[in-house]
């Protein structure tokens, strides 16, 4: 980790995904681009824990950046961040929770990365009042500022099936993506997630079906993601 001016530069250590997975990510990117130029602030959530949301979000940001889009990823999981816990050199004493509570300025929480065109705002320390902080007007101010500087603002939110945090942020976003783990989330529960987001007025751009079984469609994509997310999401959100 190093600093340039007041901006911190971090190495996300992103690995090149297998060809099949990379093609699926490009397809997701293309579908997002075709949603229109007015859909630039995108919230990504899931039904429950362990569905692979945060890593898919990071991979999507990388593919957008590779296309030349100026992208910022905001880690809005103030409860238990997957991104912060899996990146060596994540800055200490700063982040989204510090900004929302008025302890630092915007330029102190934006981290440039070694991936060209990709910046990140880490979640920061775990606060005692995450929902209230996300409802703070400073969250909208941050998003409005990012609109002026970036082509895409991607917000990684906690599972909407567990906590209301995503619903709090959704009204100031242009659209949302729901990630669902194949074969694990029942139809009724998935519909409840859709209903919660619809009530916020935030358009649902689509659903990403993750961890599709290898035997179901004969593709390596599902098998790879099943292994890729397994360790990272073990026991995620078990205390909430």
How many Å apart are CA 133 and CA 148, to the nearest integer? 23
3-class state of residue 199 by DSSP:
helix
Mean pLDDT of the region 44-71: 88
Element (H, E) at 230: helix 220-230
Q: What is the DSSP letter of 108?
A: G
Q: Which residue has the higher pLDDT, 180 or 214?
A: 180
Q: Give the architecture (CATH level 2) of 2-11+18-230.
A: 3-Layer(aba) Sandwich (3.40)
CA distances from residue 38 to 9, 13, 18 in whole angstroms, order as listed: 29, 31, 31
Q: Domain ranges in the chain?
A: 2-11+18-230
Mean pLDDT of the region 185-212: 85
Q: Which residue has the higher pLDDT, 229 or 160?
A: 160
Strands (E), 38-190: 41-46, 71-75, 110-113, 118-121, 152-156, 175-181
Mean pLDDT of the region 189-214: 84
pLDDT at 232 over 50: no
Average pLDDT of the residues of the chain: 82
Radius of gyration, CA atoms only, the chain:
17
The answer to whether 179 and 207 are in contact (CB under 8 A) is yes
Element (H, E) at 3: strand 2-4
pLDDT at 10 over 60: yes
Model confidence, pTM:
0.84
pLDDT band at residue 151, thresholds of 50, 70 and 90? very high
Q: Burial, 56: exposed, middle or buried (Cβ in 10 Å; 0-12, 13-18, 19+)?
A: buried
pLDDT on residue 64? 96
């Amino acid at each position: 980790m190093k600093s340039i001016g007041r901006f911190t530069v971090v190495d996300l250590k992103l690995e090149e995904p297998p060809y099949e997975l990379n093609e699926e990510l490009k397809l997701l990117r293309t579908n997002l681009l075709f949603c229109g130029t007015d859909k630039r602030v995108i919230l990504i959530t899931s039904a429950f824990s362990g569905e692979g949301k945060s890593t898919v979000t990071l991979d999507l940001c990388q593919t957008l950046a590779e296309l030349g889009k100026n992208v910022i990823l905001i880690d809005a999981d103030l409860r238990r961040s997957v991104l912060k816990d899996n990146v060596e050199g994540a800055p200490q004493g700063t982040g989204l929770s510090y900004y929302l509570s008025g302890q630092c300025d915007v330029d102190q929480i934006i981290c440039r990365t070694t991936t060209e065109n990709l910046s990140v705002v880490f979640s920061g320390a775990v606060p005692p009042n995450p929902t209230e902080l996300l409802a703070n007007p400073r969250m909208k101010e941050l998003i409005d500022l990012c609109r002026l500087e970036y082509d895409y603002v991607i917000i990684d939110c906690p599972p909407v099936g567990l906590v209301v945090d995503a619903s709090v942020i959704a009204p100031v976003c242009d659209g949302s993506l729901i990630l669902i783990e194949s074969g694990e989330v029942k139809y009724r529960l998935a519909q409840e997630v859709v209903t919660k987001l619809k009530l916020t007025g935030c358009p649902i751009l689509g659903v990403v079906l993750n961890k599709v079984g290898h035997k179901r469609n004969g593709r390596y994509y599902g098998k790879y993601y099943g292994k890729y997310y397994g360790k990272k999401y073990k026991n995620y959100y078990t205390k909430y």
